[in-house]
């Protein structure tokens, strides 16, 4: 492939897209490993740790490209890519992790954490990028050099974008399925037969791979959602059996979106109409970091990270409620937004849940999820605040 070849630029975009989608975990480790350092050392730790990780990633991917020239390995790699794509679409599990203490210490420790984490967590990136490169070393190195700095310096933005528009993750999963389909039919074992007898597979196999990943990923996600519904219902039953709170409790769910800010304004304007001086819980739900990340960052650092992120996400709401003289308790929950808020409401025997919405009917969004996601997980009345 040459620079004037359209195939080259399509493959380059594939490599950049794969790295952006699959490097989110690595970006979180970089941020968490450096955040405990003094401000002057944070930037140095990120630059040196990331530079070492980039060199290591290039070497690993070059080795992977050479290995994929052997029979059967591309077929095995394609199957693994399908699995990685499906895992990408599954919701993160809310677990308590007792990770290592590698994030503590000085800059050398932070750099070591970044390097080790990238080595352990780069299997998916290496296989996917090696497949997308189609044997071109020029394409491989160019794609990595372009995409990795984007991930390193835009990690926070990328994570926010993916949380705000989950469809990007679905597209990323489909892209991995597409690359897996291309990879399988170019294995030395079947390549010649496909080229001589079934050229149409060059179009059908990638599309089938993309559809397979999205279909299976959504099916497994729906099953996980049904489990969350049953779990929340059980918690609600236990909470209902306990003594009722002396004051009615209401929940105002918030995040950094404009819809949430409008919801806060509407809540404040209507607060005087509430009866019984309700106890207000300001709730922000933070999606848990992936398990791979928690292996390299201690629990205290993860807790501080979530608390800081939750405080930033609720800043407008806290400022507005403080100005209105409304007392509240800030609560940061870790988990998928809908089930997490529903579970907290059940635990507190809340009388009402208030959420800001975008005012677009069935597509209204709550904390990066849909209205349905919350409604199907709770028996507590939900009021949408457009």
| Contact indicator for 280, 252 with CB cutoff of 8 Å | yes
CA dihedral (264, 267, 269, 271) positive or negative: negative
Return the pLDDT at 250. 93
- What does the alpha-carbon distance between residue 160 and residue 309 come to, in Å, rounded to a whole number? 11
Rounded Cα gap, residues 173 and 217, in angstroms: 9
* pLDDT at 383 (0 to 100): 87
Domain for residue 1, yes or no? no
Asked whether residue 229 is domain-assigned, the answer is: no
Tokens of 231: 């779990």
Tens digits of per-residue pLDDT, 275-297?
Answer: 677 899 999 988 877 666 666 67
* 3-class secondary-structure state, position 352: strand
Domain count for the chain? 2
240-271 as b/e, with b when 16 or more CB fall inside 10 Å? eeeeeeeebbbbbbbbbbebbbbbbbbbbeeb
- 165 and 278 belong to one structural domain: no
Same domain, 78 and 23: yes
Answer yes or no: do 163 and 288 share one domain.
no
Look at residue 340 and tell me if it is in a domain: yes
Among residues 222, 253, 276, which one ends one of the domains? 222
CATH number of the domain that 294 lies in?
Answer: 3.40.50.620
95 shares its domain with 54: yes
Does the structure show a pLDDT above 60 at 35? yes
152: pLDDT strictly greater than 80: no
Model confidence band, residue 361 (pLDDT cutoffs 50, 70, 90): very low
Q: Do 290 and 200 lie in a common domain? A: no
Q: Are residues 300 and 368 in the same domain?
A: yes
Is residue 101 pLDDT above 60, yes or no? no
Q: What's the distance, CA 44 to chain centroid?
A: 26
- The residue with greater pLDDT, 41 or 240, is 41
Do 189 and 253 belong to one domain? Answer: no
What is the sign of the dihedral through the CA atoms of 341, 346, 348 and 349? positive
Residue 19 lies in a domain: yes
Is residue 203 domain-resident?
yes
- CA dist 41 and 356 (Å) reads 39
Is there a single domain that holds both residue 215 and residue 293? no
Provide the phi-psi class of 276: left if phi over 0, else alpha when psi is between -120 and 50, else beta: left
Confirm whether 228 is domain-assigned. Answer: no
| Same-domain status, 168 and 268 | no
Mean pLDDT of the chain: 76
- Rounded to 5°, angle at Cα 213 from 87 and 215: 110
Question: Is 236 a domain residue?
Answer: no
Q: What's the pLDDT score for residue 267?
A: 92
Domain identity same for 173 and 272? no
Reference 32, options 109, 125, 87, 124; nearest CA is: 109
Give the β-pairing of 365-366 and 369-370.
antiparallel
Of 14, 62, 3, the C-alpha closest to 182 is 14
- Residue 61 clears pLDDT 50, i.e. is over it: yes
Q: How many CA atoms lie within 13 A of 311 on its CB side?
A: 6
Taking alpha carbons only, the member of 67, 61, 72, 75 closest to residue 15 is 61
- H or E element in which residue 250 lies: strand 249-253
- pTM of structure: 0.58
Same domain, 315 and 205: no
Cα distance between residue 354 and residue 266, in whole Å: 10
Q: Tell whether 91 is covered by a domain.
A: yes
Domain that holds residue 260: 243-385
How would residue 151 be classed by pLDDT, with cut points 50, 70 and 90? low
Question: Is 206:182 a contact under the CB 8 Å cutoff?
Answer: yes
d(CA 234, CA 74): 46
Q: Write down the pLDDT at residue 327.
A: 92
56 in helix, strand or coil? Answer: helix
Contact 221/90 with Cβ under 8 angstroms?
yes
Q: Residue 81 has which token pair?
A: 């890519």
54 pLDDT more than 90 = no
CA angle, residues 208, 213, 214, in degrees to nearest 5? 100
- Alpha-carbon 247 to chain mean position: 37
Same domain, 37 and 92: yes
């Amino acid at each position: 492939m040459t620079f004037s070849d359209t195939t080259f630029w399509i493959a380059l975009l594939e490599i950049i897209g794969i790295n952006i989608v699959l490097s989110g975990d690595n970006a979180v480790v970089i941020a968490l490993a450096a955040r405990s350092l003094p401000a002057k050392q944070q930037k140095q730790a990120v630059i040196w740790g990331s530079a070492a990780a980039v060199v290591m990633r290039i070497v690993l991917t070059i080795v992977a490209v050479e290995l994929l020239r052997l029979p059967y390995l591309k077929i095995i790699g394609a199957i693994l890519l399908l699995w990685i794509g499906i895992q990408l679409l599954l919701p993160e599990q809310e677990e308590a992790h007792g990770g290592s203490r590698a994030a503590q210490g000085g800059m050398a420790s932070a750099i070591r954490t970044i390097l080790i984490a990238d080595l352990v967590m780069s299997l998916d990136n290496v296989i996917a990028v090696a497949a997308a490169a189609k044997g071109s070393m020029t394409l491989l190195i160019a794609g990595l050099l372009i995409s990795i700095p984007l991930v390193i310096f835009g990690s926070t933005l990328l994570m926010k974008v993916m949380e705000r528009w989950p469809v990007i993750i679905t597209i990323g999963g489909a892209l991995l399925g597409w690359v897996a389909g291309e990879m399988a039919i170019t294995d030395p074992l079947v390549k010649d037969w496909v080229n001589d007898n079934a050229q149409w597979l060059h179009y059908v196999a990638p599309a089938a791979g993309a559809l397979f990943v999205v279909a299976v990923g959504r099916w497994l996600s729906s099953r996980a959602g049904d489990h969350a519904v049953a779990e929340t219902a059980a918690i609600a039953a236990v909470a209902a059996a306990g003594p009722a709170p002396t004051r009615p409790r209401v929940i105002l769910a918030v995040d950094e979106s404009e819809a949430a800010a409008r919801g806060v304004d509407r809540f404040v304007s209507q607060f005087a109409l509430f009866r019984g001086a309700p106890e207000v819980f300001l709730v922000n739900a933070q999606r848990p970091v992936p398990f791979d990340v928690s292996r390299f960052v201690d629990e205290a650092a993860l807790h501080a990270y979530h608390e800081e992120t939750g405080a930033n996400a609720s800043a407008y709401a806290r400022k507005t409620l403080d100005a209105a003289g409304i007392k509240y308790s800030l609560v940061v929950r870790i988990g998928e937004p809908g089930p997490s808020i529903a579970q907290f409401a059940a635990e507190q025997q809340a009388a009402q849940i208030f959420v800001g919405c975008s005012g677009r009917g069935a597509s209204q969004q709550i904390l990066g999820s849909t209205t349905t996601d919350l409604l199907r997980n709770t028996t507590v009345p939900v009021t949408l605040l457009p």
